[in-house]
Amino acid sequence: MRFLCFALLASSALPAFAQGIELSPMFGTQFRYEQTMGDRLLGTNDAFVMRARPGVMIDDGSWSLVAQSDAAVVVRRTIDATGEETSETTASSASRPDSLQLNQFALRYNGLPGTTVALGRQQIGLAGNYAGDRDGEQTFDAARVTWAALPGLHADLAYAWSSRSLWAREGDALIPETVGGQNIFAKLDWQNRFGTLSTYAYQVDQRHAAHSDFRLMNQVYGARFTGTRKLATGTRLDYAIGYNRQDGALTNGATVAPTYWLIGSTYDLGDLSATQTNYRRFAANGIAFRNGDEINLSTNATMGRVNLGARFSNFRPIDSQQALQDMRVSLGLIF
Residue 215 or residue 18, greater confidence: 215
When pLDDT is averaged across residues 188-207 and rounded to a whole number, the result is 86
pLDDT of residue 200: 84
pLDDT of residue 329: 66
Q: Inform me whether the pLDDT recorded for 41 exceeds 60.
A: no
Give percent of the chain above pLDDT 70. Answer: 44
Question: How many degrees, rounded to 5, is the angle at CA 173 between CA 259 and CA 251?
Answer: 45
What confidence tens digit (pLDDT) does each residue in 14-23 have? 445 445 789 9
Residue 282 domain-assigned (yes or no): yes
pLDDT of residue 142: 94
pLDDT of residue 4: 43
Per-residue CA distances from 204 to 70, 107, 111, 200, 201 (Å):
23, 23, 30, 13, 10
Q: Residues with Cβ < 8 Å from 273, sequence gap 6 or more?
A: 123, 125
What confidence tens digit (pLDDT) does each residue in 85-129 have? 444 443 333 335 566 778 889 999 999 999 999 999 988 866 443
Give percent of the chain above pLDDT 90. Answer: 17
What is the CATH number for 70? 2.40.160
pLDDT of residue 234: 59
What confidence tens digit (pLDDT) does each residue in 231-266 have? 766 566 777 777 777 676 555 554 455 554 554 444
Residue 14 is given by DSSP the state G
Residue 34 domain-assigned (yes or no): yes
Q: How far apart are CA 163 and CA 284, in angstroms?
A: 8
Q: Inform me whether the pLDDT recorded for 193 exceeds 50.
A: yes
Average pLDDT, the chain: 67
pLDDT of residue 150: 92
Q: Which of 218, 238, 297, 232 is nearest to 262 (CA)?
A: 297
Residue 18 domain-assigned (yes or no): no
Residue 93 or residue 216, greater confidence: 216
Q: How far apart are CA 215 and CA 284, in angstroms?
A: 10
Q: How many helices (H) and strands (E) does the chain have?
A: 1, 16
Residue 260 domain-assigned (yes or no): yes
pTM value surpassing 0.85? no
Residue 165 domain-assigned (yes or no): yes
Residue 321 domain-assigned (yes or no): yes
Q: How many domains does the chain have?
A: 1
**Could you tell me the pLDDT band of residue 321, with boundaries at 50, 70 and 90?**
low
When pLDDT is averaged across residues 273-290 and rounded to a whole number, the result is 33
Neighbour tally for 80: CB within 10 Å: 9
Q: Residues with Cβ < 8 Å from 316, sequence gap 6 or more?
A: 292, 293, 294, 322, 323, 324
**Would you call 135 exposed, middle or buried from its count of C-beta atoms within 10 A (0-12, 13-18, 19+)?**
buried
Q: How far apart are CA 199 and CA 221, in angstroms?
A: 8
What confidence tens digit (pLDDT) does each residue in 133-167 have? 334 467 889 999 999 989 999 999 999 998 876 66
pLDDT of residue 107: 96
When pLDDT is averaged across residues 304-315 and rounded to a whole number, the result is 70
Write out the residue range of the structural domain in which residue 107 sits. Answer: 2-13+23-334
How many CA atoms does the CB half-sphere of 120 hold within 13 Å? 23
Residue 44 or residue 145, greater confidence: 145
Q: Inform me whether the pLDDT recorded for 67 exceeds 80.
A: yes
Q: Inform me whether the pLDDT recorded for 296 exceeds 70.
A: no
Residue 260 or residue 281, greater confidence: 260
